A and B are shown apart, each in its own frame.
Chain A
């Protein structure tokens, strides 16, 4: 019985004698002297991520069709609240999970989402998921386009995860994305797009 297993395991652990515990502080890391945004962009592009820096959100909207064209994207699915267009269907368009899943697996060349934060220390973007933002949008299509405001770039993971939005309302799912999906599992030959997106594109608004 599960109740029994729990109690047996915990009481067995509690009976163990104490051991020695060292008390070393967290290790210091080298502080990047270039600006926060530049440091972020350098590391983001080092992972083959593509950054487009634009002036404003409006500019991002105007720029989007160009990106779609450049990367040969005919159909995209977006999380609500993001720039739309004739080739971009918002997630809310789908009647249910089945419809959405079918479309995101089979019909979308790209997924368009917002990113919560950019993390300069590793060039990572943080995505969290909720009713307006399905998990598969940034995962199933070959291309993931994320939109991020430069004001949301922070130095470290701790700076991002200590924000009240995560503490007060922990999301059911949260992902650090550092570059596109990749593998080197056959003969050590690396390539992008193993299961997730092959390309990661970021529209960075100033």
Chain B
């Protein structure tokens, strides 16, 4: 997938003017947030439930190397093959080689953020392997070549006319169709044929259980089950932080994941694999390949502060809670991960200098952190990125601050630590700005202030500052001043 994180502002401006985006942002996040809250009602204490999820994730990460080893041992014992990949290239190459060795020409894929991160679809297509996304929303975004709008509904904002057009163009339907259900069912018929022909099914992994070597996938449509049942080869791509120690922990997290994501007590299908199909079994994969992908995560893991971002379980609840996502939708985040999830994950994977607008566009309201079932502290991470960016951190690819920013901050520090200077600067600024006031409101100013006024107005400043009023009447006797 093409990374567009540096076009955040342009895409956000475009999206805020888009009627379809606006319509879905009024509906989807609100509805999902309500359903989430209702689904948490069967916890005696929903806040404690969230804390327990955070504890499981933190503990799993703390023991990550040993859990990965145990997982590998048990997965191998169950008959699976395990491949470790340092980066996306290694993972993609292994999957393509496996496909070629086995004469696979058609691949069916389940929705998987890690494979979008790795650009697996593009790599497979370049290698001449026909690759089909099979989750309905992901199928539509693949045909339209767009990033996901929302992790739960990747194409939920696309108007039916646009879907009908692209389905006609790609031969999914024969005549225009405006009914969402009939469009969905035509995709069902089209993709069924792909499931039958596919020699390989590729899925992501929601959780991996160390003590049993089990892989877990969560879905509602059944396409992941097809990917694991019909083809002769299954490839499960997991980013290395997905492992938990026990089945019990996995079940606790599953409850939190399904409630947080779609407000369900359990998603329609949760499927678990322990090795390839056993001898005598009619269907299921003859080979199960597990690709454990690092792609920068072992570097993120080294610092306990950034390690926190690896606790994310990709439920998407933070998107629905975020006031910024609620205005701009998923496209401006420019990659596989959107919303607060994207704001904490993408900067670590792509580097701070390529993602500055992502971590700077946060209001630090903290709603995402408060509802996160995995204990990610988004605001803390974003403040960390801001400071590491200014400090030009070489590991995180911080870009440092511009000469202008440095000068302004130095000037501010000077003024703020000298009362006389502060008073003078305040007086000067106030009278300069007040010259632009009309009917008590300042609507704009040139130069360095221009951007500030882009989406805000400022009330006209008073003739005297608070400090000078205070000096005149420190006891607060004059009522008109106190008011």
Query: A and B: partners?
Result: yes
Name A residues whose Cβ lies closer than 8 Å to a Cβ of B: 2, 5-6, 8-10, 12-30, 43, 47, 91, 94, 97, 100-101, 105, 121-124, 129-131, 134-136, 139-140, 157-158, 161, 170-189, 191, 193-197
Is B268 a contact partner of A23 (Cβ separation < 8 A)?
Answer: no
Q: Which of B24, B43, B83, B281 is within 8 Å of A29, CB to CB? A: B43
Name B residues whose Cβ lies closer than 8 Å to a Cβ of A: 24, 27-28, 31, 41-45, 48-49, 51-52, 54-55, 58-59, 61-62, 64-65, 68-69, 78, 83-86, 90, 94, 134-137, 140, 153-156, 158-160, 163, 180-181, 183-185, 188, 191-192, 195-196, 212, 214, 220-223, 225-226, 228-230, 240, 247-248, 251-252, 254, 264-284, 292, 294, 298-299, 301-304, 307-308, 375
Residue among A9, A29, A129, A193 facing the most chain B CB atoms (10 A cut-off): A9
Q: What are the nearest 8 A-B pairs in CB distance?
A: A196-B222, A27-B49, A19-B304, A185-B137, A131-B280, A135-B229, A122-B265, A195-B222
Q: Which of B31, B42, B58 is within 8 Å of A30, CB to CB? A: B42
| Nearest opposing residue in chain A for B153, CB measure | A185
New A-B pairs, 11, CB < 8 Å, besides A22-B58, A94-B282, A176-B271: A19-B304, A23-B59, A27-B51, A172-B273, A174-B274, A181-B268, A182-B268, A185-B184, A186-B137, A193-B185, A194-B188
Is B301 a contact partner of A13 (Cβ separation < 8 A)?
Answer: yes
| Nearest opposing residue in chain A for B252, CB measure | A26
* B259–chain A nearest beta-carbon distance, Å: 10
Complex interface: chain B residues within 8 A of A18 (CB): 62, 304
The docked-state distance in angstroms from the alpha carbon of A47 to that of B223 is 19
Is A195 a contact partner of B275 (Cβ separation < 8 A)?
Answer: no
With A9-B240, A19-B304 as known contacts, state yes or no: A24 contacts B55, CB within 8 Å. yes
* B245–chain A nearest beta-carbon distance, Å: 13
Is B221 a contact partner of A196 (Cβ separation < 8 A)?
Answer: yes
Is A157 a contact partner of B222 (Cβ separation < 8 A)?
Answer: no
Interface of chain A: mostly helix, strand, loop or mixed: loop
| Nearest opposing residue in chain A for B247, CB measure | A161
Is A130 a contact partner of B278 (Cβ separation < 8 A)?
Answer: yes
Is A23 a contact partner of B265 (Cβ separation < 8 A)?
Answer: no
Q: Which of B156, B281, B284 is within 8 Å of A188, CB to CB? A: B156
Is A191 a contact partner of B181 (Cβ separation < 8 A)?
Answer: yes
Complex interface: chain B residues within 8 A of A100 (CB): 282-283
The docked-state distance in angstroms from the alpha carbon of A19 to that of B283 is 44
Complex interface: chain B residues within 8 A of A124 (CB): 266
| Nearest opposing residue in chain B for A30, CB measure | B42
Complex interface: chain B residues within 8 A of A97 (CB): 282-283
The docked-state distance in angstroms from the alpha carbon of A178 to that of B225 is 14
